[in-house]
Amino acid sequence: MAIVNENFLKLQAGYLFPEIGKRRRAFQQTHPEAKIISMGIGDVTQPLAPAVIEAMHKAVDEMAKKETFHGYDDSGIGYAFLREAIAKNDYKTRGVNIDIDEIFISDGAKSDTANIQELFGLDNIIAVADPVYPVYVDTNVMAGRTGAVAGQGTYLKIIYMPATAENGFIPDVPSQRADMIYLCFPNNPTGAVASKDQLKKWVDYAKENKSVILFDAAYEAYISDSKIPHSIYEIEGAKEVAIEFRSFSKTAGFTGVRCAFTVVPKELRTYTRAGQSVALNPLWNRRHCTKFNGVSYITQVGAAAIYCDEGKKQVRQTIDIYMNNAKTIRESLSSFGYKVYGGVNAPYIWVKTPEGIGSWQFFDLLLNKAHVVTTPGAGFGPAGEGYVRLTAFGNPSDVNEALQRIKAINK
């Protein structure tokens, strides 16, 4: 008899986005003439940078000739040309030394943030922000690191750290011990960013508790404030306690191409039950090479192209389009009387719902009256109740149209 992994049965039915899709389809069926604009799901809309396209075309041509054909990547962790470009452009320029053996190229930060848990024992206590990117929680549920559902969509054996307007959406370090701490800055969904001092508190906490910080920096390219760190490794000592996840998805429009990377520093340690220290870098290398056969050569060539001068400029232009959207959304909604957070160093805008109106209720109102799809904050955790998330990834004309419609319902 094949026994199922019963941890999957603990997962709550109806992941956030399917529910949004269901409500959207139901509305469209009864209002076929309505032109719905999505400001909800965080996919990008602008095409790849010309430098990326050109590099990928060339790589395809290389694959067409015996002399330049590429099969499996021998390193198993990504081509050195891409890892070198990352070490130089993403880290060295910010005063951080990352060895190319500490960089692992993958097909996405979603899978990396999920897969990395395999290196950790099931008894570890995880801590997540509330609201949170749901992948961190659901994948730990699947692994069996959590208890059953506790109510309001939370699980037992997880430390939820409220990120609220009162703490500027930067959770405080918990009073109890957490072994694995998920942090995401710039934050999805709140759009909050953490200062060096705030991150230092986390690094100090992790050192004190021998914990590991799982730092998701998928949106670092959206930081414009020069004082805000792009990497946790800008904090002294962080290499001893933190793994960092990055992605080309939002940086360079690779959501449909798939390329990301994870940094596992050689200094980083975990412990056996007997207290013996174990380096994670060789373990992740082993896991990566055993279970993953690499990202395509064509994709890695395309990713490396974002680091050439033209690529850098073009990627920046696209990010500027999105951040202009973010500014328009923030300013317009504020002028309509809404309380708005985020959207300055992040492509997410976290909007307080009007007094007495819940997240899903406000979602339905915007869908029905403005034909605009948002993401209800409650879907990201109990502390997200009373908010909706808007993304800045839309086409500017759609964003402007959506805002005009929202303005009209407020008259």
Ligand X SMILES: Cc1ncc(COP(=O)(O)O)c(C=O)c1O
Rule CB under 6 A: choose which of 90, 102, 216, 244 binds ligand X.
216
Per-residue b/e over 128-140, b at no fewer than 16 CB within 10 Å? bbbbbbbbbbbbb
The Cα 281–Cα 287 span in angstroms is: 10
Q: Where are the alpha helices (DSSP H) in 242-308?
A: 248-252, 281-291, 297-304
Indicate the residue among 370 and 378 with the shorter CB distance to ligand X. 378
Rule CB under 6 A: choose which of 104, 120, 133, 182 binds ligand X.
133
Closest contact distance (angstroms) between CB of 284 and ligand X is: 17
Closest contact distance (angstroms) between CB of 257 and ligand X is: 10
- The answer to whether residue 109 forms part of the interface with ligand X (CB under 6 A) is yes
Residues in the interface with ligand X (CB under 6 A) total: 13
Q: Choose among 285, 244, 268: nearest CA to 94.
A: 244
Residues 240-269, mask of contacts with ligand X (x by CB under 6 A):
-------x-x-----x----x---------
Closest contact distance (angstroms) between CB of 42 and ligand X is: 5
Q: Choose among 332, 320, 310: nearest CA to 400.
A: 332
The Cα 297–Cα 60 span in angstroms is: 9
- Interacting positions 297-356 with ligand X (CB under 6 A): none
- The encoded tokens of residue 235 equal 């904090």
Rule CB under 6 A: choose which of 44, 127, 194, 218 binds ligand X.
218
Residues 279-298, mask of contacts with ligand X (x by CB under 6 A):
--------------------
Closest contact distance (angstroms) between CB of 107 and ligand X is: 8
Indicate the residue among 260 and 406 with the shorter CB distance to ligand X. 260
The Cα 353–Cα 377 span in angstroms is: 10
Indicate the residue among 146 and 187 with the shorter CB distance to ligand X. 187
Closest contact distance (angstroms) between CB of 377 and ligand X is: 15
Q: Which helix (H) or strand (E) holds 136?
A: helix 134-143
- The answer to whether residue 131 forms part of the interface with ligand X (CB under 6 A) is no
- The answer to whether residue 231 forms part of the interface with ligand X (CB under 6 A) is no
- Interacting positions 17-76 with ligand X (CB under 6 A): 42
Q: Which residues contact 7 (CB under 8 A, 6 or more apart)?
A: 141, 142, 143, 144
The Cα 389–Cα 169 span in angstroms is: 14
Map tokens 């909706």 to a residue.
388
- Name the residues that contact ligand X, by CB under 6 A: 42, 108-110, 133, 184, 188, 216, 218, 247, 249, 255, 260
